[in-house]
Amino acid sequence: MLQSLTVWATRLKRDVVTLMFASRDPATPLPAKLLALATVAYALSPIDLIPDFIPVLGYLDDLIVIPLGVWLCLRLIPKAVLEDNREKAQTWLAANPVKPKSIFGLAAILVIWTLGVWWLWRWLAVGL
């Protein structure tokens, strides 16, 4: 079981990098590009929407959001584009073992948290 989880995680990592390349490919349809950009930004963001220190929920977002985004993107992107970008991803992963960071993902998560705190503050202020 541990071996199958390792294979799954390795494949997921490769697919996130594949989506990184596919989002820049002109042959990728626009809806797939936008979803791929959002998925990659979230996957590579240095912070999570739900922090990992929150029991259960902290890891569930990583186990559900990223694989779901990758799965949907893989369905929307044409097979030929995927194959070409998978080769690029494998070459890139072999040469760059360091995980990239997404500043866009970081900014998006910070905006979501800021809006959530503002909304909560407004809700509490009106309720008092």
Confidence of residue 104 (pLDDT cuts 50, 70, 90): confident
Using CA atoms, how far apart are residues 23 and 90, in angstroms rounded to an integer? Answer: 16
Cβ 49 vs Cβ 61: under 8 Å = yes
Give 2-20 as a DSSP string: HHHHHHHHHHHHHHHHHHH
Would you say residue 128 has pLDDT above 70?
no
Q: What is the average pLDDT across 61-69?
A: 87
Which residue has better confidence, 96 or 94? 94
The mean predicted confidence, pLDDT, of the chain is 87
Confidence of residue 101 (pLDDT cuts 50, 70, 90): confident
